[in-house]
Amino acid sequence: MRVIVTRARGDAARTAAALRARGHEALLSPVLQIVATGAAINPGSAQALIATSAHAFEVLPQADAARLAHLPLFVVGARTASAAAKAGLAPPCVIAASALELAQQIAETLPGPAHLLYLAGHDRKPDLEAALQAQGHAIHVIEIYEARAVEALSLEVAQALAQNEADAVLHFSRRSAQLFAACVAKAGLSTQAAGLRHVCISRDAALGEDAVIALTPDGPGLLKALEQT
């Protein structure tokens, strides 16, 4: 299949490699660009560091990483843990599968109220912060990166849609799905794109009832859902 990948460039390259390994062709059209915000980082009295995305450590300045290295680290996902290691931080105390699981494991590891430093993206769901606050923790959120919208399809994907040469599109979040739909409409290709199969990492990322939803909310689950359509 010829599959459109709309993730930010670094993430898109990894997904493209996974698609090629399974015999598919990847068509890249990132709808998001990850940029550092330049936010000041002051550990202050923080007792632990948390992050839910590898992007937080990919944009973390080396000097700030050194100042945070003494803090116990709690993250979501193995790739976030790997990015933290590359930035010079110690291995995480916890590598959770989801934000809510991370909150549960923090509750077990830090049973008393703690001051947590959260390296976050500008656009994020409130679930983790709400769960931690419900546990009595104080959270200092530093929006260290931003996922900026890209306003146009890549030439490769625009041409593929115009010529009806794309089969499916992968959606990793609701925002990226919405941005892809907006880029398609802006290019005047909504009619040509109507036949695409929309394969989504979760129900939240689906814009229509006919979308295919992965059984597990991760990359392997998404690729498996793609091949079952």
Would you give per-residue pLDDT tens digits along the chain (229 residues)? Answer: 999 999 999 899 999 999 999 999 999 999 999 999 999 999 989 999 999 999 999 999 999 999 999 999 999 999 999 999 999 999 999 999 899 999 999 999 998 899 999 999 999 989 999 999 999 999 999 999 999 999 999 999 999 999 999 999 999 999 999 999 999 999 999 999 999 999 999 999 999 889 999 998 888 999 999 998 6
Q: Based on the domain organization, do 43 and 139 belong to the same domain?
A: yes
- Together in a domain, 83 and 117: yes
Residue 134 shares a structural domain with residue 216: no
User: In angstroms, rounded to a whole number, what is the distance separating the alpha carbons of residues 172 and 191?
Assistant: 23
Residue finishing a domain among 114, 147, 180: 147
Is residue 109 located within the same domain as residue 173? Answer: no
Of the three residues 123, 147, 171, the one that is the final residue of a domain is 147
| DSSP letter, residue 23 | T
Separation between Cα atoms, residue 87 and residue 4, nearest integer Å: 31
* Residue 158 and residue 174 in one domain: yes
CATH of the domain at 124: 3.40.50.10090
Q: What is the domain count for the chain?
A: 2
Q: What's the pLDDT score for residue 2? A: 98
The per-residue pLDDT for 208 is 87
pTM: 0.86
Residue-level pLDDT at 112: 84
Place of tokens 């709690």: 74
Domain end (from 94, 114, 147): 147
What are the backbone dihedrals phi and psi of residue 144, each rounded to the nearest 5 degrees, phi first? -85, -20
Please indicate, yes or no, whether residues 48 and 67 belong to a single structural domain of this protein. yes
Query: Domain check: are 140 and 166 in the same one?
Result: no
DSSP labels, 107-160: HHH--S--EEEEEEESS--SHHHHHHHHTT-EEEEEEEEEEEEP-S--HHHHHH
Write down the number of H helices and E strands in the chain: 10, 11
Distance CA 218, CA 129 (A): 21
43 and 113 in a single domain? The answer is yes
Residues 59 and 134 in one domain: yes
How confident is the model at residue 217, as a pLDDT? Answer: 86
One domain, residues 143 and 40: yes
pLDDT for 229: 65
CA pair distance 11, 25, nearest whole angstrom: 16
The residue segments making up the domain with residue 8 are: 2-31+150-227
Tell me, yes or no, whether 127 and 44 share the same domain: yes
